[in-house]
Structure 1
Amino acid sequence: MAFSFWLLALSSASAQDMKMRDVFRQMPDSLMPYLTHNNRLDFIDFLDSNMKAEVKNLLGGTSEMTSLADDSLSIRMSETSKLDLLLLPLQQPVDSMTQVVVMIETFVVDSIYGESQIRYYSPQWLPLQHQPMLSEEQGKRINEHTLQNILKRDDEVLNKR
């Protein structure tokens, strides 16, 4: 009985300490339809090997993971779209969930107009029906990502001219 309790405590502790790479590996293909599961694993392997993390996507173009940290990652999906994932701790657990995945998809039409869509998931990729209660600092971090994506696209367009 003591062993069972220890095993349960160990599994719940490890679930609370999830890292972005683990969450990303478990991401359903339906949320990123033009990258395969192997593409996602390759991204992580390439970055771990200090290589450029670029893969050919299912649309015939290239996608590149530009950063991976314990609590975030960024992928340039195409010339006009970018995906950012944030793994944020919740101030108050919700149904035993202590972390939330924030998915920020940014689509840029040209160097002026861009639009971001923000969705929230559990670390097991269950969609959340409502935005979880986040700190003001976490809200600012999300907003910075959406604005940064559009401004970075402006810089890339200007530098190509």
Structure 2
Amino acid sequence: MEMMELEKSKRGWGVVFILLGLFTMVPLQAQKQAKELFVHIPDSMCPILTSVNRADCIDFIESKMKAKVENRFGRESEMTALTNDYIRMQMSSQSSWQMKLLATSDSTQVICTVSTACAPACDSSIQFYTTDWKELPLNDFLSTLPTMDDFLETSDSAFSYKYNDARMKADMLLMKADLSEKDNSLTFTFMTPEYMDQETAKELTPFIRRPIVYIWKNEKFVKE
């Protein structure tokens, strides 16, 4: 009798452990990959590429081939990077697009996208979405963007007049944003000198700081 009760107890605990195992696996199963989200992006949000274009890019790059396709406008687009959580597309010779899947504390994910246009100086826009491509408020995940002064510095008062003169000529903030393929960082590079004439850009160059890096921490990008 005791043996029967013991066997029942063992079976009961076995069921409990199996159920616990299934529950712990659910968050892992819920994690999506960048490629499946990219294929199902609404056409209105990716007007250059058809759904077939997007699927072909993935097939090509996973086959170690050049992931080039002819887009809707008869031009060439190329997928230049693909990982489980990151994609980079060279949409045209003057525009690129990136996406990154970022984890949140409740085991869900958000999508961050960066669209960059260069004409000729590059400038980027950043958006966030749910995994079914519903737009989310930018301020929830990136509350403060770099300002012009974040990219510039003067360390010697003897050169302050040169700095002030160059700073006055920098009347438009242009910056290029890049998501990292390898980690959850977002890097901003100062591009304003690219639209200035050569002499003015040269005056500004000594005061330019290195690119500014943000890291994904507590469900938002914060300056490193």
Whether these two folds match at TM > 0.5 is yes
Cα distance in structure 1, aligned partners of 2:94 and 2:82: 20
- 2:109 corresponds, among 89, 99, 107, to 99
Q: Deviations over 1:74-105 (max 9, x none)?
A: 00000110001011112x33xxx721100100
Q: CA deviation at 1:34?
A: 1.5
Corresponding residue of 1:18: 32
Cα distance in structure 2, aligned partners of 1:11 and 1:28: 27
Is 2:87 the counterpart of 1:73? yes
Corresponding residue of 2:49: 35
CA RMSD in angstroms, aligned pairs only? 2.6
Structure 1 runs (4+) deviating above 4 angstroms are: 8-13
Return closer, same or farther for 1:133/1:116 CA change in 2, 3 Å cut-off. Answer: closer
- For residues 113-152 of structure 1, the aligned pairs below 5 Å read 113-133=121-141, 141-142=185-186, 144=187, 146-147=188-189
**Identity, % of aligned positions:** 33
> Equivalent residue of 1:88, what SS?
strand
Report if aligned partners of 1:82, 1:107 keep a CA contact under 8 Å in 2: yes
TM-score (norm 2): 0.52
> Equivalent residue of 1:74, what SS?
strand
Corresponding residue of 1:89: 103
Report if aligned partners of 1:27, 1:125 keep a CA contact under 8 Å in 2: yes
Cα distance in structure 2, aligned partners of 1:63 and 1:128: 27
> Equivalent residue of 1:147, what SS?
strand
Report if aligned partners of 2:127, 2:138 keep a CA contact under 8 Å in 1: no
Return closer, same or farther for 1:32/1:115 CA change in 2, 3 Å cut-off. Answer: same
Q: Deviations over 1:21-72 (max 9, x none)?
A: 1211221111101100000000000011110000001111100000001111
Partner letter of residue 48 of structure 1?
E
Question: Which structure has the higher relative contact order (CA within 8 Å, separation 6+)?
Answer: 1
Unmatched 5+ stretches in structure 1 = 151-161
Matched residue pairs, number? 132
